[in-house]
Amino acid sequence: MRRVRSIAGDSVNLLLYRELGRSDDAIEEALWRLNPSLAEHGPVLPAGVSVVLPEVLPQLLAAAPVSAWD
């Protein structure tokens, strides 16, 4: 697990997207489980908060739908 520090004005979603390239519900839930005291900082994190990032498994990409008009 990797540890990062927040930048002033970061939200959890912004931090996840910047560091992991995604901020969906599953990865956000994993982050909250690893950092239960993170909510004490409120919705906007101050600079320098240490955050443990969850391990990211590659997501399967859905195939593009086939259209009869393509």
Dump pLDDT digits (tens) for 31-62.
999 999 999 999 999 999 999 999 987 665 55
The pTM of the full predicted model, rounded to 2 decimals, is 0.77
| List of residues 6+ apart from 48 with CB closer than 8 A | 5, 6
What is the structure's pLDDT at 59?
60
What is the structure's pLDDT at 25?
92
CB 54 within 8 A of CB 4: no
* pLDDT over 70, % of the chain: 87
- What count of residues does the chain have? 70
Average pLDDT over residues 13-25: 93
